[in-house]
Amino acid sequence: MKIDKGAISNPRILARRELLKFIFASPIFGAMAGLPVSGFAAPDRATPEIASQALNIFQIKKVASEKLPVPIWHFIINGSDDGKTMAANREVFDEWELRVRRMIDVSNIDTSVELFGDKFPSPIILAPIGAQQRIHPEGELATANAAAKRKQLMIASMMTSYSFTEIATIGGPLWFQIYASPHTEMMEHMLSLAESENTPVLVLTVDTSSRGNREGERWFRRQITQTGMRLGNFENYKGRMMIGDPSMTWDIIKWLRDNTRMKIVLKGIVTREDAALAVDHGVDGIIVSNHGGRQEESNRATLDSLIEVLEGTQDSIPVLIDGGFRRGTDIFKALALGARAVAIGRPQAYGLGAFGQEGVDQVLRILNTELETIMKFVGATSLSAIKRESLIRKD
């Protein structure tokens, strides 16, 4: 055997060799050979077995795709037509890069945000998703428990499986989302549900003049059991039903003002002109949204729409956003461009479908942690310190 005289004379090399001998001879190393290959797979290919193992939203999505029935999975992931709007929501984040600052004390990070007088520990909120019992037996109760555990805001859909009253008993921060209807008695019923729980904010979705052409969802709809599917908010309602109103105009704002004391937020505003009209009509806030790409095809990404909407509001009312957010850096970019908070839709459905309440909790934990991390790198110790100057758009 050839002896490396240099190694003999170098105590550091000898020490390293002794350490390697110890590691390879260790029973711990030998036991590792029996671990499944997935334990060493790249994070984007690994499959976590419990929620706490998930490193990112994409791993949780993978688990949900494997657990959920195909029709339900398509209910979650489908966009309209060819999915161009849905794709645009994701692709736009790559157009913005960070300008990071150094030598700033970031030992204490504050991610709290105030909305309509209420303070929340995070700007990440849960967007309205209906019929969650399709995804998990505990449905919105699991989602609400996860949000309440972290004191993060949840917007409950009018179309929930469990009733708004049942969801509200959990005790977490809660807003209520409704759709317009030509049948005012239906809307009055929904307003009474929200007001009976002292709900501070009503979210009116305004992008449903027609139903999006979600072909995958339509294809599998016949396989989704409708019998016995619960819609809790309609169980004690005996009037006429119609979801969405193609005749809706700005007059609905006055009708709402005359019938509720809640703050009014419009979800689905994407242009400067409509943002200005919202302010003119006394709306209290806006959620920039294209329904996750489930309505119009070939719409712009919400991050692009955000810039225009802020021009229309002139910072007179809070502007929130949803659409395509999967990373803390995505959320940071929206905050830097002027959004007050960010709502997540599909990620909460991934979490619920993959692991129930624990999955939704893990989704929130991951995104909260990623946001705090990027704030440290950029040198922003609070949301107010996140500035437009922290971003630069690629040429």
**Structure confidence by residue, pLDDT tens digits, 48-98:** 999 999 999 999 999 999 999 988 998 898 876 667 888 899 999 999 999
Q: Residue 81 corresponds to which tokens in the numbers above? A: 């037509």
- Count of Cβ atoms closer than 10 Å to residue 194 Cβ: 26
Q: What is the mean pLDDT of residues 219-231?
A: 63
CA 124 to CA 120: how far, in whole Å? 9
Burial of 212 (0-12, 13-18, 19+ CB in 10 A): buried
What secondary structure, in 3-state letters, does 225-249 show? CCCCCCCHHHCCCCCCCCCCCCCCC
At 318, the amino acid letter reads P
- The whole-number pLDDT of residue 223 equals 56
289 in Cβ contact with 207 (< 8 Å): yes
- The whole-number pLDDT of residue 219 equals 57
- DSSP for residue 128: P
CATH of 54-393, one of 3.30.420.40, 3.20.20.70, 3.40.605.10, 3.40.50.2300: 3.20.20.70
Catalytic residue among 74, 136, 189, 291: 291
Burial of 250 (0-12, 13-18, 19+ CB in 10 A): middle
DSSP notation for 247-281: T--THHHHHHHHH--SEEEEE---SHHHHHHHHHT
Q: How many residues does the chain have?
A: 395
Higher-confidence residue of 9 and 221: namely: 221
| Percent of the chain whose pLDDT exceeds 90 | 71
- The whole-number pLDDT of residue 246 equals 86
Higher-confidence residue of 128 and 215: namely: 128
Whether residue 130 is predicted with pLDDT greater than 90 in this model: the reply is yes
Give 165-169's long-range contacts (Cβ < 8 A, gap of 24+): 165/193, 165/196, 165/197, 165/232, 166/141, 166/232, 167/140, 167/141, 168/197, 168/199
Whether residue 210 is predicted with pLDDT greater than 60 in this model: the reply is no
CA distances from residue 197 to 144, 202, 341, 391 in whole angstroms, order as listed:
15, 12, 23, 41
Residues 169-193 as b/e (b if ≥16 CB within 10 A, e otherwise) read: ebebbbbbbbbbbeeeebbebbbeb
pLDDT band at 220 (very low <50, low <70, confident <90, very high): low
Higher-confidence residue of 366 and 36: namely: 366
Q: What are the boundaries of each domain within the chain? A: 5-34, 54-393
Q: What is the mean pLDDT of residues 291-297?
A: 71
371 in Cβ contact with 363 (< 8 Å): no
Q: Quick: pLDDT tens for 111-122.
A: 999 999 999 999
Q: Quick: pLDDT tens for 351-366.
A: 999 999 999 999 999 9
Residues with Cβ within 8 Å of residue 330, at least 6 apart in sequence: 93, 324, 342
Q: Based on the residue annotation, tell me whether 74 is a catalytic residue of this protein.
A: no
Helix axes 346-355, 57-67, angle to 10 degrees: 60
CA 358 to CA 369: how far, in whole Å? 16
- The whole-number pLDDT of residue 201 equals 99
- The whole-number pLDDT of residue 393 equals 95
Helix boundaries (H) for the chain: 5-8, 11-25, 27-32, 57-67, 70-77, 84-91, 139-149, 164-168, 184-196, 215-220, 251-259, 272-280, 302-313, 328-337, 346-355, 357-378
Whether residue 8 is predicted with pLDDT greater than 80 in this model: the reply is no
